[in-house]
C-alpha cells in the first residue's frame, strides 16, 4: 500500500530500512527450510561407523530415516540436497567451552573478569555462539561464566528462543570454588570480584549448589583443586565430605557435577564423590585413571588449552624444547590411554578462539596418539553418552536432526572437520 503513491528518494530509502528491520525486505528474505529434507552425501558417519552411499531424511526437528540412498526417496514436497564428496555426521558436541571468555592472547583472564562489563562480554558471546555453530558444533557444554554471573542463562535463553544463532547449551553458571583459592588475586587489601562463587562447608555448599540450580544451571562445576597463591602448585581445595555432599545435592535435583582437577588427590576426591567428568587431569597417574574407570568417571583432557597458553607465552613449536607443562600432560595422557578410562572431548575453548574448536581434535590425533575415527566418535556419540544426551550424537531415526556435512572423510583425516559445508540444527539449515 505504501508504494501506491510516488515518494521522494529519502522516503523510499527510509521505507526500505523499515522493511529490512521488519524482516520484509527481499534483500534479507530467505526461504524457510522445508519440513522434509533429504540429504544425499558421499557417505554418512552415524556416530560409530562410516556408510558410503547412504542418505538421511529429516522431518521437522528429527531424523525420519537413514540408510542406503537407493532405499530412501524424497516424499512429495521434500527438498533434496546433493552433497557430493562430503561426509554427513552428527552435529559435533563440544565438551568444554566458555562462551563468555575470549582468547587470552587478546586479553588476559584477570582483565576480562575485572575490566570488561557483563554487557560487553555478552555481546562477544553472541558472536562466539554463532561461530561455534557455524564450525559444526551444535551442542556445547559451557563450564562456567568466569565472573559474568548468570549471563550464560540469558545466552542460552536467547539461543533457545531463536533470538540469536548458536548451539544447544548445557551451562554451569558461576561454578564453585573454596574461599581464597581462585582469582583474580592482585592485592590482598582489595576485595575483588571472583571468577566463580565461593562456598565452604556443608551448609555453604548445599546452599550454593541449590542456588545455582535455581538460577538455571544444567550442571554444577566444582574446582576440586587450585592454586592458593600465584606462584604455588595446585593443591586440593574441598574436602572429601564437601565434594560428596555437593554431588549428592546436585544429583537429587537431576544435575551432574563436573570437577576441575589436576592433582592426583583432587582427582581422587572428585572421583570418589561421583562426579560425571574430571576436566584437565594434568597430573593424573595410572592408579587414578584406573580408579576413574572403575567408578565410571570420564576424563576431558583439554590438550588444546595448554598448547595455546604455551604459545601465548612465547613457545615456538618445533623450534624450542617442549614446555614442562606439556611434557607432563603427555605423560598423563599416556597413563590415561593405558588405563582405558573413558574420554570426553573438549578443548577449553575461550582460552583460544571460538570456532577453532577442532584444534582439540587435531592435537589428539597428531600428538597424543588417538586415531581420527576415535576422535570423531568422541565428539559425537561418545560425548553424547558421557553427558547423558540420548537424543543426539548419532544419526538414527527419532533423534534430533543436528547434522554437519564436511568435505572429505574425517574418520581418515580429522582436519576434514574444518571443511564445514552444511550445518543443520533441529532440522533447520543454519549454514549452507
Q: What is the pLDDT of residues 12-26, one digit of tens each?
A: 443 343 343 334 333
The answer to whether position 365 is within a domain reads: no
Quote the pLDDT of residue 393: 98
Q: To 10 degrees, the CA torsion angle through 237, 116, 162, 218? A: 10
More confident residue, 224 or 34: 224
Quote the pLDDT of residue 186: 87
Distance from C-alpha of 401 to C-alpha of 45, rounded to nearest angstrom: 14
The answer to whether position 370 is within a domain reads: no
| Rounded average pLDDT over 240-261 | 98
Quote the pLDDT of residue 314: 93
| DSSP string of 59-81, one letter each residue | ETTEEEEEEEGGG--PPTT-EEE
Q: How many distinct structural domains can be found in the chain? A: 3
At residue 33 the predicted structure's pLDDT band, cuts being 50, 70 and 90, is: low
Who's near 364: CB < 8 A, 6+ residues apart?
301, 303, 345, 370, 375, 378
Name 86's bridge partners. Answer: 407
What is the per-residue pLDDT across 328-377, written as a single tens digit (0 to 9) for each?
999 999 999 999 999 999 999 999 999 999 999 999 999 999 999 999 99
For residues 193 and 255, state if they share a domain. yes
Q: Mean of the per-residue pLDDT values for the chain? A: 93
Per-residue burial over 6-27, b = 16 or more CB atoms within 10 Å of its CB, e = otherwise: eeeeeeeeeeeeebeeeeeeee
The answer to whether position 330 is within a domain reads: yes
For residues 146 and 1, state if they share a domain. no
For residues 341 and 408, state if they share a domain. no
Within 13 Å and on the Cβ side, how many CA atoms surround 388? 12
The whole domain housing 44 covers 36-91+396-431
For residues 348 and 218, state if they share a domain. yes
Is the model's pLDDT at 10 over the cut of 50?
no
Which percentage of the chain shows pLDDT scores above 70?
Answer: 92
For residues 194 and 71, state if they share a domain. no
What is the per-residue pLDDT across 264-321, written as a single tens digit (0 to 9) for each?
999 999 999 999 999 999 999 999 999 999 999 999 999 999 999 999 999 998 889 9
Q: What is the DSSP letter of 399?
A: S
- The three grid cell numbers given for residue 291, joined into one nine-digit string: 580408579
The answer to whether position 366 is within a domain reads: no
Is the model's pLDDT at 392 over the cut of 50?
yes
Amino acid at each position: 500500500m505504501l508504494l501506491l503513491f510516488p515518494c521522494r528518494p529519502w522516503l523510499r530509502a527510509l521505507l526500505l530500512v523499515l522493511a529490512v528491520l521488519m524482516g520484509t525486505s527481499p534483500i534479507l528474505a530467505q526461504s524457510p527450510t522445508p519440513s522434509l529434507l533429504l540429504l544425499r552425501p558421499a557417505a554418512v558417519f552415524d556416530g560409530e561407523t562410516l556408510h558410503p552411499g547412504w542418505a538421511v531424511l529429516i522431518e521437522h526437528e528429527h531424523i525420519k530415516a537413514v540408510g542406503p540412498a537407493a532405499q530412501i526417496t524424497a516424499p512429495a514436497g521434500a527438498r533434496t540436497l546433493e552433497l557430493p564428496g562430503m561426509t554427513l555426521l552428527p552435529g559435533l558436541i563440544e565438551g568444554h567451552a566458555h562462551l563468555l571468555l575470549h582468547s587470552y592472547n587478546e586479553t588476559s583472564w584477570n582483565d576480562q573478569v575485572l575490566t570488561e562489563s557483563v554487557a560487553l562480554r555478552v555481546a562477544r558471546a553472541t558472536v562466539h555462539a554463532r561461530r561455534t555453530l557455524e564450525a559444526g558444533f551444535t551442542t556445547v557444554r559451557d563450564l562456567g561464566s568466569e565472573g559474568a554471573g548468570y549471563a550464560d542463562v540469558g545466552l542460552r535463553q536467547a539461543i533457545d528462543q531463536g533470538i540469536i544463532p548458536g548451539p544447544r547449551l548445557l551451562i554451569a553458571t558461576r561454578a564453585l570454588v573454596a574461599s581464597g583459592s581462585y582469582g583474580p588475586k592482585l592485592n590482598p587489601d582489595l576485595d575483588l570480584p571472583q571468577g566463580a562463587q565461593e562456598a565452604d562447608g556443608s551448609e555453604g555448599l548445599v546452599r550454593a549448589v541449590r542456588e545455582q540450580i535455581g538460577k538455571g544451571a544444567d550442571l554444577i562445576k566444582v574446582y576440586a583443586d587450585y592454586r592458593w597463591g600465584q606462584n604455588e602448585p595446585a593443591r586440593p581445595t574441598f574436602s572429601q565430605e564437601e565434594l560428596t555432599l555437593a554431588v549428592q545435592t546436585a544429583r537429587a535435583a537431576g544435575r551432574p557435577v563436573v570437577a576441575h582437577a589436576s592433582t592426583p588427590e583432587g582427582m581422587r576426591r572428585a572421583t570418589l564423590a561421583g562426579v560425571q567428568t574430571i576436566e584437565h587431569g594434568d597430573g593424573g597417574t595410572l592408579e587414578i585413571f584406573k580408579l576413574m574407570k572403575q567408578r565410571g568417571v570420564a576424563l576431558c583432557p583439554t590438550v588444546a588449552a595448554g598448547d595455546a597458553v604455551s604459545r601465548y607465552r612465547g613457545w615456538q613449536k618445533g623450534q624450542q624444547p617442549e614446555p614442562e607443562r606439556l611434557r607432563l600432560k603427555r605423560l598423563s595422557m599416556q597413563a590415561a590411554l593405558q588405563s582405558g578410562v573413558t574420554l570426553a572431548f573438549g578443548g577449553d575453548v575461550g582460552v583460544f578462539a571460538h570456532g577453532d574448536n577442532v584444534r582439540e581434535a587435531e592435537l589428539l590425533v597428531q600428538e597424543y596418539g588417538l586415531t581420527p575415527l576415535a576422535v570423531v566418535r568422541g565428539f559425537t556419540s561418545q560425548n553424547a553418552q558421557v553427558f547423558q544426551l540420548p537424543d543426539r550424537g548419532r544419526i538414527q531415526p527419532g533423534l534430533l536432526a543436528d547434522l554437519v556435512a564436511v568435505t572429505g572423510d574425517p574418520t581418515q583425516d580429522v582436519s576434514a572437520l574444518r571443511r564445514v559445508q552444511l550445518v543443520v540444527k533441529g532440522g533447520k539449515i543454519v549454514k549452507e
